[in-house]
Amino acid sequence: MPSNGKKRALVVLQLIGANDPLNTVVPYSDPLYYDNRPTVSVPADQVLPIDDDFGFNPNMGPVKSLWDQGKVAVINGIGYPNPNRSHFRSMDIWHTAEPDKIATEGWLGRAIRDMDPNGENVLTGVNFGRGLPRSLGCRGVPVASVGNLETYGLFPDVQDDLKKEQTLQAFAQMYGGFSGRDPVIDSLGQTGRDALKGADILRTAPAQYSSSIEYGPSSIAQSMKNICQVMFAELGTQIFYASHGSFDTHGDELVVHGKLWQDVGGAIGDYYADLEEHGWQDDALLLVWTEFGRRIKDNSSGTDHGAGGTALLIGGNVKGGMYGQYPSLKEAEQIDGDLKANNDFRSTYSTLLERWIGLDAPSIVNGQFEQFDFIEK
């Protein structure tokens, strides 16, 4: 159960571009890994071992520290039937939880609709970054999207206070006076009013925030800081979303992938330290996902699009450990040179929805899926 009456938070971090699972959770004791990756492999003596067979990328020190505390669950071989190597189609499948047809609603958007069916809180879901991820898109569901919380607000380029107030009043009046005349205008009007309301509320979060944690300068570190600022302000937000990339490492992978995980790992470490400082570690759960894995064989400089991947769950209520069978590197057990996905990503979604948030999962993920046991309580 949530502690001190807090609403449980689900934080979703998307690694855009397809993170390489073999160089994230490295099978350093398997000679087939080095046979298939003569130039794009992590040397065994540089891996951060988690057992005698597997270890984290050397740039994942903060994640390894949390693993040692039992706060990290690794989902191996995660994916979906009939893998698709297109970034756009695969991301769409993960965003909508629908691999068989093109869907229009995101799984998190549907979750927010079920959590707040009357749309009473325009900040139940907040994205930290530009645009709006398809995961959060759902007709009639308000979601705020914040580029930089410190400067967030409508018309931030209008510096004069009087002019900004006049502009906001005109904006509110424009979106408030046409109700009932046209459904499209009504929808636009509600969107505008929700944007106004959300901006006003979110602007209060930074002023309420105090922390000794010094986040790194990367964009993902700042997004994770913004997430904590909103979370600690207790504005009723339960779904937080951020993304980082690109993990599409066709070339120079060892350098690029290492730097990406240095930024992401550092951001996760700072975020979790902030949770602990503010007593939120047992009330927030972080999902880290990517659209698919990468090829088993390297291309001499990087790796190309693959299938089965890796996801991480991090939090104080996570039962740390390895979940899902690590895909075999034996040629007979590959899928056209890719790691075979042995568990459907909707099993992870279902576990989070039912065991963490307390929602009915089948209507959100389009079916019944076996759940994991990675949540303590």
Q: What is the pLDDT of residues 196-208, one digit of tens each?
A: 567 778 888 999 9
Q: Helix or strand or coil: residue 126?
A: strand
Q: Which two tokens stand for residue 293?
A: 């894995």
Residues paired with 343 in a beta bridge = 78
Backbone angles phi, psi at 180, to 5 degrees: 90, -15
- 30 has pLDDT over 60: yes
CA distances from 223 to 62, 277, 339, 364 (A): 17, 18, 31, 27
User: What mean pLDDT is predicted for residues 352-363?
Assistant: 98
- 225 has pLDDT over 60: yes
Cβ within 8 Å of residue 325, ≥6 positions away: 76, 77, 342
Whole-number Å distance between alpha carbons of 245 and 17: 6
Q: Which residue has the higher pLDDT, 160 or 41?
A: 41
CA 128 to chain centroid: 10
What are the structural domains, with CATH classification, of the chain?
A: 3-152+203-365 (3.40.720)
User: What mean pLDDT is predicted for residues 230-238?
Assistant: 97
In eight-state DSSP terms, residue 288 is E
pLDDT in tens, 50-107: 999 999 999 999 999 999 999 999 999 999 999 999 999 999 999 999 999 999 999 9
CA distances from 127 to 35, 55, 115, 355 (A): 41, 31, 17, 23
pLDDT in tens, 173-184: 544 444 454 443
CB 259 within 8 Å of CB 244: no
Residue 103 burial (10 A CB sphere; 0-12, 13-18, 19+): middle
CB 83 within 8 Å of CB 338: yes
CA distances from 136 to 214, 236, 238, 324 (A): 29, 16, 12, 27
Q: Helix or strand or coil: residue 327?
A: coil
Cβ within 8 Å of residue 285, ≥6 positions away: 8, 9, 10, 11, 313, 314, 315, 317, 318, 352, 356, 375
CB 146 within 8 Å of CB 225: no
Cβ within 8 Å of residue 209, ≥6 positions away: 228, 229, 232, 233
pLDDT in tens, 244-287: 999 999 999 999 999 999 999 999 999 999 999 999 999 999 99
CA 373 to chain centroid: 20
Whole-number Å distance between alpha carbons of 261 and 278: 25
H/E segment holding residue 343: strand 343-344
Backbone angles phi, psi at 375, to 5 degrees: -110, 130
Q: What is the pLDDT of residue 200?
A: 76
Q: What is the pLDDT of residue 170?
A: 54
CA 130 to chain centroid: 14
- 333 has pLDDT over 80: yes
Tell me which residue of 229, 198, 232 sits closest to 121, measured CA to CA. 198
Per-residue confidence band for 151, with pLDDT thresholds at 50, 70 and 90: confident
Q: What is the pLDDT of residue 178?
A: 45
Q: What is the pLDDT of residue 148?
A: 83
Average pLDDT, the chain: 90
Q: What is the pLDDT of residue 188?
A: 41
Cβ within 8 Å of residue 177, ≥6 positions away: none
Whole-number Å distance between alpha carbons of 48 and 31: 17
Q: What is the pTM of this model?
A: 0.90
Amino acid found at 108 = L
Q: Helix or strand or coil: residue 110?
A: helix
Q: What is the pLDDT of residue 189?
A: 44
Q: Which residue has the higher pLDDT, 167 or 188?
A: 167
CB 272 within 8 Å of CB 328: no
Sign of the alpha-carbon dihedral angle for 300, 258, 316, 350: negative
Whole-number Å distance between alpha carbons of 17 and 328: 23
- 26 has pLDDT over 50: yes
Q: What is the pLDDT of residue 163?
A: 58
Q: Which two tokens stand for residue 165?
A: 């107030």
Let me know the angle formed at the C-alpha of 341 by 60 and 45, rounded to the nearest 5 degrees: 30
Q: What is the pLDDT of residue 165?
A: 53
